[in-house]
Amino acid sequence: MEHRKIGFFSIAGAATVIALTAQQSTTEAPAGFTTPTLGQAIGSTGQLTVTAGTQSISNGIAEPPGDTFALDQAQFERRHDPSNGLGPVFNATSCVECHNNGVTGAASQFTEQRVGHLDGNGNFVNPTVTINEGANTITGRAIVNDRSICPQAQEHIPTTETVRTLRAVLNTLGDGFVEAVPDQTFLSIAANQPGLSGGMIQGEAIEVPIFESPGQNGVGKFGWKAQDPTILSFSADAYLNEMGVTNRLKPKDVTSVCKVTSDPEDTPDALGLADIDHFAQFIRGTLAPPRDTVLAATPNAIAGQSLFNSVGCITCHVANLTTAPPGTVINGGTYTVPAALGNKIIHPYGDFLLHNVGTGDGIVQAGPPDTANKLRTAPLWGLHIKSRFMHDNASMTLNDAIQRHAGEAAGVVASFNNLTAGQQQQLITFLQSL
């Protein structure tokens, strides 16, 4: 995959972009958990319908002709089987099967497997997975799916693949606002971090292909390796790799064993929208994850926020980002920032850059070789509805997650450990309010 490391660009252009954005009238992005799971049914014609009583509320994004936010969410929740494209290998039968915790679109406890090995020169190599009693292989990707539509297609991790990791499901709520933040903003953050951290912290932005705009690239923002630059690219990538459903941007299955459908399996509906279009529209229409406002107003949480800033967590877990003005054309010319997403201030507590904080998984996915032990900063918004933390969901407490930080974050962890026990608890209380 084509990529370009762009984490060390001059910030002069970024300053211009930020200054122009500041001249526009900005408002806080709406926040809330407003996507309760829908009631839905498949009618006699095979069309998905949404039953009455849905309480889901969008951020006000304009819908394509004939479309509704409820229909977008219903497609996100629709379960698949082999007759409509599931598999042959997959992890889930619907998007909501993984992205659901209290509301549709939130992060959950699910993880996926990523593996590979190193060649003689120490370079990461994707695995070759044998299936169907050795008659077929799956190659060209690090993911190994947990499930299959038939025994012959079931994948197993070869013993040769010594680089192994689990990847936690990511939150998608509010990602429409993240997509609308100018790429130059992320470059500016990366360029400023060394000066804010005595040279310890340097986020890396990678430029990756925009699938819906061939030949065009953008800053990767979505996925643990920042492998996708846009929500539509992310949707297409996940539809194939997590559910095995081919689509116009990812048109070929990884194997044909037990396959009963023709590629691409995701075709336009009566509105002219494919499933990946509905997925993208749903994600873009969600509100930002809200804080626990009661806890956030307590003296301990307020003191904890000050400590969060002073020890240096804020360098990577950036509190405030501003989206581009409405009408700005992004994503290689394929998408225009709508009024609902433009000139909005968001508080993701993340920089969406790749960092080596000592927990890298060894996988090279979309970036250059130096990204093997780097992961995208986990945005902390919505943290109060998570029970497991870090990229592998292996940390059961926030203190454990903090102590796992090393590498670029070693100085920050040392500062945290120098706090009194009471101050440490105040900082954790602040995190629990996010």
Same domain for 145 and 242, yes or no, is: no
Question: Which amino acid would we find at residue 293?
Answer: T
Same domain for 41 and 101, yes or no, is: yes
Q: What is the pLDDT of residue 424?
A: 98
Q: What is the pLDDT of residue 19?
A: 40
Out of 166, 200, 232, a domain closes at 166
87: left (phi over 0), alpha (psi -120 to 50) or beta: left
Q: What is the pLDDT of residue 23?
A: 53
Out of 151, 166, 181, a domain closes at 166
Same domain for 130 and 81, yes or no, is: no
Same domain for 176 and 319, yes or no, is: yes
Percentages of the chain per state (helix, strand, coil), in multiples of 5: 30, 15, 55
Closest CA to 42 of 9, 91, 75, 3: 75
Same domain for 227 and 305, yes or no, is: yes
Q: What is the pLDDT of residue 324?
A: 98
Domain enclosing residue 123, as ranges: 111-166
Number of domains in the chain: 2
What is the enclosing helix (H) or strand (E) of 138? strand 136-138
Model confidence, pTM: 0.92
Same domain for 28 and 139, yes or no, is: no
Same domain for 240 and 277, yes or no, is: yes
How far are the Cα atoms of 188, 301, 374 from residue 202, in angstroms, in the given order?
11, 28, 11
Can you tell me the distance from the alpha carbon of 145 to that of 156, in angstroms, rounded to the nearest whole number?
Answer: 8
Can you tell me the distance from the alpha carbon of 426 to that of 307, in angstroms, rounded to the nearest whole number?
Answer: 8
Strand pairing of 143-144 and 111-118? antiparallel
Q: What is the pLDDT of residue 14?
A: 41
Same domain for 50 and 159, yes or no, is: no
How far are the Cα atoms of 48, 141, 370 from residue 82, in angstroms, in the given order?
17, 22, 39
Same domain for 102 and 128, yes or no, is: no
Strand pairing of 354-355 and 344-346? unpaired
Out of 166, 190, 209, a domain closes at 166
Same domain for 156 and 17, yes or no, is: no
| Count of residues making up the chain | 434
Same domain for 305 and 219, yes or no, is: yes
Q: What is the pLDDT of residue 55?
A: 80
Same domain for 296 and 183, yes or no, is: yes
**Rounded to the nearest 5°, which phi and psi values hold at 27?**
-135, 160
Positions of the chain with pLDDT lower than 50, given as ranges: 1-5, 7-22, 41-45, 52-53
**DSSP alpha helices (H): ranges in 11-122?**
12-23, 69-77
How far are the Cα atoms of 102, 224, 313, 349, 354 from residue 377, in angstroms, in the given order?
23, 8, 11, 9, 6
User: Are the CB atoms for 253 and 247 separated by under 8 Å?
Assistant: no
